[in-house]
Homo-oligomer: A and B are copies of this chain.
Amino acid sequence: MIRIFHASEGVSLMEVMRREGTALNAPCGGNHSCGKCRVKILAGANIPVTEEEKRLLSEEELKEGWRLACSVYGPGEWTVEVPEQDKGARVMTDGGSADGTKLDPASRTACIRIEKPTLEDARADGERLGQYRLSLDEMRKLPRLIRENERLYVYELRRQTKDYCESIVSAEEIGNLGVAVDVGTTTMAAYLIDLQTGEQLGCASEMNPQRSFGGDVISRADYACESVENQRRLQTLVVSAIESMTRRMLKECGRDKKDVRHIYCVGNTIMMHLLAGLETGYITKSPFTPVYKYGFTVRANEMGMGLENAHVSLGTCVAGYVGADTLAAVLACDMLHAHELSLMVDIGTNGEIVLGNEKGMVCCSAAAGPAFEGAHIRCGSGAQDGAIDHVKIGNGEVTFSVLGGGEAKSICGSGLVDAIAEMIESGIIDETGRIDEDFLPEEYEDRLFEFEGNPAFSLDGKNENGVFIAQQDVREVQLAKSAIAAGIQVLMNEMGAEFDQVGKLFLAGGFGNYIDRESAVKIGLLPKELADRIIPVGNAAGTGARRAIKNAAQWEQADEVLPKCMRYVELSARADFQELFVEKMMFGEEEY
Listed in ascending order, the chain A residues whose CB lies under 8 Å from chain B are 117-127, 136, 139-140, 142-144, 147, 276-279, 281-282, 286-294, 296, 298, 302, 317, 319-320, 568, 570, 572-573
Contact = CB atoms under 8 A, between A and B. Distances in A.
30 contacts: A117-B282, A118-B287, A119-B286, A119-B287, A120-B570, A121-B287, A122-B288, A122-B319, A123-B289, A123-B293, A124-B291, A125-B282, A125-B290, A125-B292, A126-B293, A136-B278, A136-B296, A136-B302, A139-B276, A139-B278, A139-B291, A139-B292, A140-B277, A140-B279, A142-B279, A142-B291, A143-B278, A143-B281, A143-B282, A144-B279
B147 A282 contact: yes
A144 B278 CA distance: 11
Contact of A122 (B121, B136, B320): B320
A296 B132 CA distance: 13
Contacts of A118: 287
B572 A119 contact: yes
B143 A276 contact: no
A422 to B, nearest CB: 39
A294 B136 contact: no
A155 B223 CA distance: 33
Contacts of A125: 282, 289-292
Nearest 3 interchain pairs by C-beta: A124-B293, A119-B573, A143-B279
Nearest to A314: B136
Contact of A573 (B120, B126, B136): B120
A362 to B, nearest CB: 15
Contacts of A279: 140, 142-144
B124 A292 contact: yes
Contacts of A291: 124-126, 139-140, 142-143
Contacts of A288: 119, 122
A288 B123 CA distance: 9
A573 B292 CA distance: 55
Nearest to A119: B573
B277 A122 contact: no
B570 A292 contact: no
Given A279-B144, A291-B125, A294-B126, A570 B139 contact: no
A136 B313 CA distance: 12
B276 A124 contact: no
Contacts of A142: 279, 291
A136 B290 contact: no
B119 A570 contact: yes
B298 A136 contact: yes
B276 A122 contact: no
Given A126-B292, A143-B281, A293-B127, A136 B276 contact: yes
A565 to B, nearest CB: 16
Contacts of A120: 570, 573
Given A117-B289, A139-B292, A293-B127, A122 B568 contact: yes
Given A119-B573, A143-B291, 20 more contacts: A118-B287, A119-B286, A119-B288, A119-B570, A120-B573, A122-B287, A122-B288, A122-B289, A122-B568, A123-B289, A124-B289, A124-B293, A125-B292, A126-B292, A136-B276, A139-B276, A140-B291, A142-B279, A143-B281, A143-B282
A571 to B, nearest CB: 10
B122 A570 contact: yes
A290 B119 contact: no
A126 B572 CA distance: 23
A96 B286 CA distance: 59
A126 B272 CA distance: 15
A290 B294 CA distance: 38
A281 B147 CA distance: 12
Contacts of A296: 136
A119 B302 CA distance: 33
A330 to B, nearest CB: 19
A45 B296 CA distance: 63
B287 A124 contact: no
B317 A124 contact: yes
Contacts of A302: 136
A364 to B, nearest CB: 12
A126 B568 CA distance: 17
A121 to B, nearest CB: 8
A163 to B, nearest CB: 10
Nearest to A573: B119
A124 B290 contact: yes
Contacts of A289: 117, 122-125
Interface centre among A119, A572, A573 (most CB of B within 10 A): A119
Contacts of A277: 136, 140
Contacts of A294: 124, 126-127
Contacts of A573: 119-120
A34 to B, nearest CB: 29
A232 to B, nearest CB: 11
Contacts of A144: 279
A147 B291 CA distance: 11
A292 B317 CA distance: 38
Of A121, A292, A320, chain B has the most CB atoms within 10 Å of the CB of: A292
Nearest to A126: B292
Contacts of A276: 136, 139
A296 B276 CA distance: 27
A117 B289 CA distance: 7
